Amino acid sequence: MVRIYAVEDERQMSRKAANLISAQVILKPDAVLGLATGSSPIGTYRQLVEWYEKGDIDFSEVRTVNLDEYLGLDGRSSASYRRFMNEYLFGKININIDNTHVPNGLAENVDRECRDYDRLVEELGGIDLQLLGLGHNGHIGFNEPADAFENGTHVVDLTESTINANARLFARREDVPRRAITMGVGTILQARKILVIVSGEDKARAVRDAFFGPVTSRVPASILQLHRDVILVADAGALRLCRI
């Protein structure tokens, strides 16, 4: 079931999402949070940092697993998702860095890295709350539109649409890696609660197709309609094509 919180703008979206995440951490201090990168969660992470600084949230026992990482990028490289997480969140709160996990983009044996990542999620006891952004083409994590859903963590070839959308974070478009490691939809769907945040009119079609269209691997996020506990926090622009 998808519950929709319609908010006015990105600021409100971030505040609502941060509220839901902090509620999870307060209820279960050693919660396992599934985290995302990209533009969508930046405001949410800022809000969490602010509340942490005020002494309202304690992350000391929290464990995290990120959705994805580019293949071929060192965790120290400025465009890597590990670096993003350290900069926007982990480096600014009292989380134990050893309890934060991002797929290793430099793994020598990527198949083993994928298997180990799924095992890690299992060993952590599964994800309590998974935060997701939504790609313009309906992707979640880096699960791109395809003929079939992919269950576990796997390597993907990024689509041109995703490469273009992410090129802003690189000096040159040619620098954007063509492949990434991503959690599969099976792993994502096993999260006990899923929180999707979407802002802006440019995502309106993706929101409509994902949450109001048929469930299809051509719109990977549409599979979320089958999960029992999804919250979509979306602003007016993102909901422009939905009648709610």
* Active site members: 68, 137, 139, 144
For the chain, give the DSSP string: -EEEEEESSHHHHHHHHHHHHHHHHHH-TT-EEEE--SSTTHHHHHHHHHHHHTT----TT-EEEESEEETT--TTSTTSHHHHHHHHTGGGS---GGGEE---TT-SSHHHHHHHHHHHHHHTT--SEEEE---TTS-BTTB-S-SS---SSEEEEPPHHHHHHHGGGSSSGGGS-SEEEE--HHHHHTSSEEEEEE-SGGGHHHHHHHHHS--BTTBGGGGGGGSS-EEEEEETTTTTT---
Q: Is residue 68 part of the contact set for ligand F6R (CB under 6 A)?
A: yes
- Compute the least distance from the CB of residue 161 to ligand F6R, in Å: 10
- Compute the least distance from the CB of residue 212 to ligand F6R, in Å: 19
- Compute the least distance from the CB of residue 168 to ligand F6R, in Å: 9
Stretch that binds ligand F6R, among 113-121, 134-142, 206-214, 226-234 (CB under 6 A): 134-142
Q: Which of 63, 139, 193, 208 binds ligand F6R (CB under 6 A)?
A: 139
Q: Is residue 38 part of the contact set for ligand F6R (CB under 6 A)?
A: yes
Closest-CA residue to 114 (of 180, 199, 30, 189): 180
- Compute the least distance from the CB of residue 57 to ligand F6R, in Å: 22
Stretch that binds ligand F6R, among 21-29, 102-110, 135-143, 230-238 (CB under 6 A): 135-143
Q: Which of 14, 24, 37, 153 binds ligand F6R (CB under 6 A)?
A: 37
Q: Which of 34, 43, 105, 133 binds ligand F6R (CB under 6 A)?
A: 133
Stretch that binds ligand F6R, among 2-10, 18-26, 118-126, 137-145 (CB under 6 A): 137-145
Q: How big is the site for ligand F6R, counted in residues (CB under 6 A)?
A: 14
Q: Is residue 220 part of the contact set for ligand F6R (CB under 6 A)?
A: no
